[in-house]
Structure 1
């Protein structure tokens, strides 16, 4: 055996490989894993770049606009947090924030209550159960513009069906889109109507995962219907409930078409939410900085609410 072959054999032995070539060296395995990871990274790099370009860049540029006094074309001069202070000092902002809170609370808990009630009802044996499930999804499946157009036909004029019915039963001439309070109630009901199918689907899947033996054991122990609902059903679906609340809160706060297509934020800005106000500030009033500042304030509040609810998800336990 030559000196060169001996040297190669010793080197192979240090690498954990026998002279005969048997066994896979640990270093080679690590190198292969590193090469695979590098390959996957370069394959994913175009997608990551595209995601950053489509999501991160607009957020950064919007933040840049919120601290300048420019328009949609020119960035303008740097003014710091003046746009935020200006927005927070206006009465219109707090009126829109108040309605946004009302709209969100009614939308979240109203759709959750209706969705949970229907999900519990669908667990019972009723005729044509699958047909009812499909029909109940229609408010969520139908495009919002179609639903808003249909609701406008129902309430827009004094000769529309709902004003005629309201007058017939003694409420007088009710202008659903002309009276501020009636318009707010109408928008909230419309939001619940188009959102409860989502809650129904979420909660139906959670209820389907509950072991029926738990309910049978509760009946043996003498638990009533209300006790079974509050002590068993609600705790068992708590995780899904919190997740649905987070998602629906985001949907409601960011819901632009529901309000804009139904009332346009009127009458007298009674149904103007923060997202509608941000849109009108930027595109109608040409005040880009304040409008973007409103959107960033909404984002901060949404993050805080989502973190609080997410902590509740982690605290909740299913036993």
Structure 2
């Protein structure tokens, strides 16, 4: 009781600090004001406008694609690297540090580096593509190539997080399980299927939930690399919400988009947490 009493003021303060912006944002979503004035009460009109806007659904589709690439692309690459780094070998620590660099380096530096590699016809990758006979490849000017480039960039900056999560999960598996499996005649593929994947499932689901949140709310990666272009091909919901609030001066509409995003994330989190309980690993 004493500890609870000491913690109560901090808990109340945190609740108030976090609750006020959410409540005020909810009020804004029900009005048609600007950045300075709350405006008139319009009810659910902002939500209706968002759900009937073709740009909203185009942004939602790209957000889904971007998030799937961020979650599963980075997980596959990170899990593969974690498996490779599991055995001890000379230089393992140095190699692991080098693999962590995309996560450690500030996003501004990373995005500028990728811009230098891809942005203009005279950049390194377009020149290499032209030299290999692929013609004039515009990585950030062509809508399809811009989407692919942004998704690859997301995988590149996210795989170190997945690698660390899965490395920790692999360290928690008892070596005796591998030895028993080898005695029973299980090969490496069977050990991966029947030991590694089930024993790391809890960490995998948690990593998926966290990376899904990171991806849906990832503003900097997209905005610094493409700004949402060309022709809105890489505009995600978070970029659309930002534009609505700070460029179109429609905070109610932008906040409504944010609430719709939050609802989708909460639903996804509930589904994945249920998967954890079904697997009996919670």
The TM tier, using the shorter chain, reads over 0.9
TM-score under structure 2 length normalisation: 0.97
1:86 matched to 2:49 = yes
Aligned partner of 2:141 among 159, 162, 178? 178
Shift of 1:123: 0.9
Q: How does 1:263-278 map to 2 (within 5 A)?
A: 263-278=226-241
Shift of 1:215: 1.1
Shift of 1:44: 3.5
Shift of 1:314: 1.6
Q: Which residue of 2 aligns with 1:230?
A: 193
Moved more, 44-53 or 157-166: 44-53
Aligned partner of 2:115 among 152, 166, 181? 152
Aligned partner of 2:40 among 57, 63, 77? 77
Q: Which residue of 1 aligns with 2:260?
A: 297
1:167 matched to 2:138 = no
Query: Alpha-carbon deviations, 1:195-250, whole Å to 9, x = none?
Result: 00000001001000101111111111111222111111100100000000000000
Query: Alpha-carbon deviations, 1:74-111, whole Å to 9, x = none?
Result: 11111110110011001000000000000000110000
Shift of 1:45: 4.6
Is there any run of 5+ residues in structure 1 with no aligned partner, and where? 1-32
1:67 matched to 2:30 = yes
Whose Rg is larger?
1
Output the CA distance in 2 between the equivalents of 1:189 and 1:127: 30
Aligned residues: 281
Is there any run of 5+ residues in structure 2 with no aligned partner, and where? none
Q: Detail structure 1 runs of 4+ shifted over 4 Å in the superposition.
A: none
Output the CA distance in 2 between the equivalents of 1:236 and 1:261: 38
User: Is the partner of 1:267 in helix, strand or coil?
Assistant: coil
Query: Alpha-carbon deviations, 1:29-72, whole Å to 9, x = none?
Result: xxxx6xx36xx53x435423431332110000000000111111
1:192 matched to 2:155 = yes
Output the CA distance in 2 between the equivalents of 1:48 and 1:306: 24
Q: Which residue of 2 aligns with 1:213?
A: 176
TM-score under structure 1 length normalisation: 0.86
1:140 matched to 2:103 = yes
Residue 224 to residue 45, structure 1, CA distance change in 2 (3 Å): closer
Shift of 1:280: 0.3
Output the CA distance in 2 between the equivalents of 1:85 and 1:187: 30
User: Is the partner of 1:137 in helix, strand or coil?
Assistant: helix
Q: Which residue of 2 aligns with 1:14?
A: none
Output the CA distance in 2 between the equivalents of 1:291 and 1:243: 29
